[in-house]
A and B are shown apart, each in its own frame.
Chain A
Amino acid sequence: MPAAIFRQLRRILLTALLGGLLGATLVRLGPGFGVDERELDNRLSQESRQAIQAEHARDSNIAMFYVRYLSGLIHGDLGFSRSLNRPVSQLLKERLPLTLGSLAYGVLGGVSIGLALALLTACWRVPGSDIAPAFLAGACLALPAAVIALLFLWMNVPGRWAIALVVFPHVYRYSKNLLVATYQSPHVLAAQAKGLSNSRILFAHVFAPAAPQLAALVGISVSLAFGASIPIEVISDAPGVGQLAWKAAMDRDLPLLVNITVLVALMTLVANSLADLALAAWRPDVSRETA
């Protein structure tokens, strides 16, 4: 078991670092890399402009940049953000708690609301009972995250709940289909015919077969929530990692972007690995074949 966990951790770390390199390559090859809006400043002399361009030219060789980044990483140095003029480690340390908190609220809230509505629809089994939740989920999908965030600000509700509203339609739709289909499978009908209680049917005969997909759903909710956190933090001016990611992207701040990519990759991989672990504990038969 410890060997398996070590292998999994190693896989996560290597994948995340590979993600950082690919992310850096995407940024480097994208348009606008190496330009600086300071060049539009009328006051600057030719030498000052050349100094600005030289600053950016240092990062233009992506392989060398990434080697420097990795060697700095070993010593705990995550690099320096050119756009914010501060060490990246300091920026992440300040902003990570807020974003992690928002993600926790967003994922837990979104998954809870989505699952609850899906269960309501699946268990209640009244014709047309899924129409109202469907339109509610549709309304949340139809409204831009920015509009939801503004609405929440106007109502003085913390923006983190807006993330839950963005996540819940995804969770609801998948889990509702899944639970309804599972409820109507032969083994559940047999269990009902035998007179088992509703709660036993739900936990032992409905959740169990649906567990792999529910686990995967919780896993991808993390990356959905992070994706939603970017516009929501930007709109509500919350100083989290999402806002930092947007600013870094708009300023083409390579050190910051690489670190955020590695961080997001780690979060996604860890969340999905935890989901797989939970599945292993609950459905060892399925997860044995997965391993």
Chain B
Amino acid sequence: MKLRLRLKPSRTAQNIALVVLFLVALASLLAGFIAPSPYAEQFRDAISAPPSARFLLGTDDLGRDRFARLLYGTRVSLLLAPAAALLSTFLAALIGGLAGYLGGRWERYVTAGIDLFLSLPWLFLLLAARALLPLNTSPITSVAITFLLLGCLGWASPARIIRAGTRTLVNSDYLLQARASGISGARLFWRHLLPNLRPMLLAQFWISVPVFILSEANLGLLGLGVSEPLPSWGAMLRELENYTAVLQNPWMLAPVALLVIVVGCLQVALRTEDQIPC
């Protein structure tokens, strides 16, 4: 039996958020039709050009159309980052939830394992992954593997919180009643416990999406991540480190603005009845 709260949800904000997300996803899927030029083509006579009719967001320092790269980059990041976030959230729920549910010695071992996991230099695992991958791996395979690794490594922090949340729920009345009704073991865990961890799981998912997008950009330093000429949000965000160029060319902020909008809308769209105040 799930906890239900009788509230009147406000759907206007959620509807708007869903529409925005849908439009962004649609635009990225139709990038081939919308983008006026290929994302890899270098217009060497129009380097770092300002926005114009020809280049809606100007060109980058290699003469590539920023608008086209934003559209294609959205496709890569919006597809893969949520997938990785889903994976890390699932692992966090499984491991953290089981630890809190089982309690006792198991919980102690798992908690120590989580703390250990958080302390290790996983950079070297990622370097090893790059070493094992052939150098001629296609960009999309390389980026898929990158996000898979991020998903597998990003579960530890939320697992601890989920474990703590599970401890609180384990002795709640509704679970006691379920146990008294003869429900136990896996069914109790999957059908009655996990669904009530939804607020935490949604929080974890929402945070993970932009974190993984940025992590992908940083992994470019190790040879993983999205390789040229495929664009990604992460690579475009790294351009912001050149703050003077950003001040002179404020349209360079378009990717970060889009990411903030998408992440904000994602959070608003993911709100459920029990998360809306009042």
Contact = CB atoms under 8 A, between A and B. Distances in A.
Given A174-B200, A177-B203, A268-B118, A142 B160 contact: no
Given A127-B10, A269-B115, A272-B111, A26 B131 contact: no
Interface stretch (A55-63, A81-89, A92-100, A130-138): A130-138
Interface string B241-269: 10100000000000010011001100110
Interface residues of A, number: 73
B25 interface: no
15 contacts: A19-B120, A126-B277, A128-B13, A134-B264, A134-B267, A147-B237, A147-B241, A170-B157, A173-B203, A178-B165, A185-B3, A223-B119, A261-B120, A265-B115, A268-B115
Interface string A202-235: 0000000100110111011001100000010000
A289 B170 contact: yes
B128 A29 contact: yes
Contact of B161 (A19, A217, A289): A217
Given A23-B119, A126-B278, 11 more contacts: A11-B112, A19-B119, A26-B120, A30-B124, A30-B128, A142-B256, A143-B237, A180-B275, A212-B167, A264-B119, A289-B170
B161 A146 contact: no
B27 interface: no
Contacts of B163: 216
Interface stretch (B53-61, B175-183, B206-214): B206-214
Given A220-B160, A290-B103, A130 B120 contact: no
B169 to A, nearest CB: 10
Interface stretch (A105-113, A117-125, A193-201): A117-125
A143 B243 contact: no
Interface string A148-184: 0011001000000000000001100110111011011
A249 interface: yes
A174 B122 CA distance: 25
A236 interface: no
A213 B5 contact: no
A168 B135 CA distance: 38
B217 interface: yes
A178 B13 contact: no
A121 B203 CA distance: 15
B199 A142 contact: no
A209 B164 CA distance: 11
A146 B164 contact: no
Contact of A135 (B127, B161, B260): B260
B240 interface: yes
Interface in B219-238: 237-238
A212 B157 contact: no
Interface of B: 3, 5, 7, 10, 13, 103, 107, 111-112, 115-116, 118-125, 127-128, 130-131, 157, 160-161, 163-165, 167-168, 170-171, 199-200, 202-204, 206-207, 210-211, 213-214, 217-218, 237-238, 240-241, 243, 256, 259-260, 263-264, 267-268, 271, 274-278
Contact of B121 (A27, A127, A173, A268): A27
Contacts of B268: 131, 134
Q: In this complex, which of B160, B165, B268 has the most chain A Cβ atoms within 10 angstroms of its Cβ?
A: B160
Given A138-B210, A268-B115, A286-B168, A144 B127 contact: no
Contact of A128 (B10, B161, B238, B240): B10
A31 interface: yes
Contacts of B168: 209, 212-213, 286
Interface string A39-64: 00000000000000000000000000
Nearest to B173: A186
A212 B264 contact: no
Nearest to A246: B123
Given A15-B112, A124-B277, A143-B256, A31 B127 contact: yes
A288 to B, nearest CB: 10
